[in-house]
C-alpha cells in the first residue's frame, strides 16, 4: 500500500501537535504519561517564588507537582494566592494536613512540602489544606543575627561615647600625671625586683640556718605532741577534780567566816569577843609587869624552913602605859 504525501504530512502534523501539548503540560508540571493523581488547593499571602515547576514532597520524597498559582478573587481575600497542586492517588491524609513552602536549596528555589496528619476527616480531591511558609536559611540567619547586630551597634555607640569622654578627660595635665604614675609604678616594680633578689640571696646564704631552725621547730612540735600525750594519759583529770573540790571547800570555809560562823568567824565578826580578848591581853600584860617588879609577892621558898610571914600589901605603884 502506497502512503501518499498528504498522509505523511498529516501524521507528522499530529505528532508535532501531540509533542507540543505534552511539552507544554510538562513545563506546567504535568506529565500526561504519569499515573492519575489527586488535586488539592492551599492559600498564601506570599508564595515566595513558588511556581508551576515546583515539586511537592512528603518526608523528602517527591509525590506531586504544583499545577497552578493564581490570585484569589474573593473580596475578603484580595491579594492572596491560591496554589493548586497534585498528589499521587495512593496517598491518603486528613484535612488537618499542612502544605508548607520551604527552600529546596541555597539558590532560592522553593518547593511545597506536605506535612500529613491522619487525625480527623480524610481529605478529598479539591479540598483546601492549611498553608504555611518556612523561613529559608538566609532569612533565619538574618533574623537570628538581627539582635546581635543591634547589640554590636549599641556597643559601638557606647565605645564611641567612652572614647569621647576619655579624650575630654585626657588633657595635658592629666597626661603628665598619668606618665608620672606609670614612671612611679615602674620604679616600684624595680624596687620589688631588687627586694626579691635580696631575699633570694639571703635565703641562699642562710639556707643551712633556716634548715636547722625548721628542724628545731619540728623537734619542738614532736616534744609538745609527746607532752600532750603524757598529759592525756596521766591522772590530770582526777587532779583537777580534787583541786576543784579543795577550792570549793575553801570557798565554803571563807563563806562561813564571812557569815560569822565558827571561832574564826566570831573572832572577825563578834565585836564583844574582840573587846574581851583585848581586855584579857591588857590584864595579862599588867600581871606580867607586876610579877617582874614584885616577884616576892608571888614566889616564896626557904632552905631552912623559915616560917612564912603573912602577906603584907605594899603600896600600889601606878604603872604608866
Based on the fold, state whether residues 100 and 124 are members of the same structural domain: yes
> Which pTM does this prediction carry?
0.38
Across 178-202, b (16+ Cβ under 10 Å) vs e yields eeeeeeeeeeeeeeeeeeeeeeeee
Q: Are residues 162 and 179 in the same domain?
A: no
164-169-172-177 Cα dihedral, nearest 10 degrees: -130
53 assigned to some structural domain: yes
User: CA torsion angle for 89, 90, 91, 94 (degrees, to 10)?
Assistant: 80
**Residue 185 covered by a domain:** yes
Chunk the chain into consecutive blocks of 10 residues (it has 321) and report each block's average pLDDT, rounded to whole numbers: 74 85 65 66 89 86 89 88 87 89 75 90 90 70 69 81 74 79 88 87 84 87 77 69 85 77 69 79 86 74 50 50 43
Q: How many Å is the Cα radius of gyration of the chain?
A: 64
Total structural domains within the chain: 3
Residues 125 and 156 in one domain: no
Do 163 and 175 lie in a common domain? no
Pair 77, 42 in one domain:
yes
Is residue 179 in some structural domain? yes
Q: Do 124 and 212 have their domain in common? A: no
Range of the domain at 145: 137-168
Tell me what pLDDT residue 36 has: 58
Residues 116 and 156 in one domain: no
Amino acid at each position: 500500500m502506497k502512503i501518499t504525501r498528504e498522509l505523511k504530512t498529516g501524521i507528522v502534523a499530529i505528532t508535532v501537535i501531540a509533542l507540543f501539548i505534552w511539552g507544554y503540560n510538562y513545563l506546567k508540571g504535568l506529565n500526561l504519561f504519569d499515573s492519575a493523581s489527586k488535586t488539592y488547593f492551599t492559600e498564601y499571602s506570599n508564595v515566595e517564588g513558588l511556581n508551576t515547576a515546583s515539586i511537592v514532597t512528603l518526608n523528602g520524597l517527591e509525590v506531586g507537582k504544583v499545577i497552578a498559582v493564581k490570585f484569589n478573587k474573593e473580596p475578603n481575600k484580595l491579594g492572596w494566592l491560591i496554589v493548586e497542586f497534585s498528589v499521587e492517588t495512593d496517598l491518603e491524609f486528613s484535612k488537618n494536613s499542612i502544605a508548607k513552602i520551604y527552600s529546596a536549596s541555597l539558590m532560592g528555589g522553593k518547593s511545597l512540602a506536605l506535612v500529613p496528619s491522619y487525625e480527623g476527616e480524610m481529605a478529598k480531591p479539591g479540598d483546601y489544606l492549611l498553608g504555611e511558609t518556612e523561613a529559608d536559611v538566609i532569612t533565619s540567619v538574618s533574623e537570628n543575627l538581627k539582635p546581635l547586630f543591634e547589640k554590636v551597634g549599641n556597643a559601638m555607640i557606647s565605645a564611641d561615647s567612652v572614647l569621647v569622654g576619655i579624650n575630654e578627660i585626657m588633657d595635658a595635665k592629666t597626661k603628665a600625671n598619668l606618665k608620672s604614675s606609670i614612671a612611679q609604678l615602674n620604679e616600684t616594680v624595680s624596687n620589688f625586683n631588687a627586694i626579691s633578689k635580696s631575699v633570694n640571696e639571703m635565703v641562699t646564704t642562710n639556707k643551712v640556718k633556716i634548715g636547722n631552725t625548721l628542724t628545731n621547730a619540728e623537734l619542738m612540735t614532736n616534744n609538745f605532741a609527746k607532752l600532750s600525750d603524757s598529759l592525756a594519759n596521766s591522772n590530770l583529770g582526777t587532779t583537777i577534780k580534787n583541786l576543784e573540790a579543795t577550792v570549793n571547800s575553801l570557798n565554803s570555809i571563807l563563806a562561813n567566816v564571812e557569815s560569822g560562823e565558827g571561832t574564826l568567824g566570831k573572832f572577825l565578826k563578834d565585836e564583844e569577843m574582840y573587846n574581851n580578848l583585848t581586855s584579857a591581853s591588857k590584864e595579862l600584860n599588867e600581871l606580867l609587869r607586876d610579877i617582874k617588879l614584885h616577884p616576892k609577892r608571888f614566889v616564896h621558898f626557904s632552905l631552912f624552913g623559915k616560917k612564912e610571914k603573912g602577906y603584907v600589901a605594899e603600896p600600889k605603884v601606878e604603872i604608866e602605859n
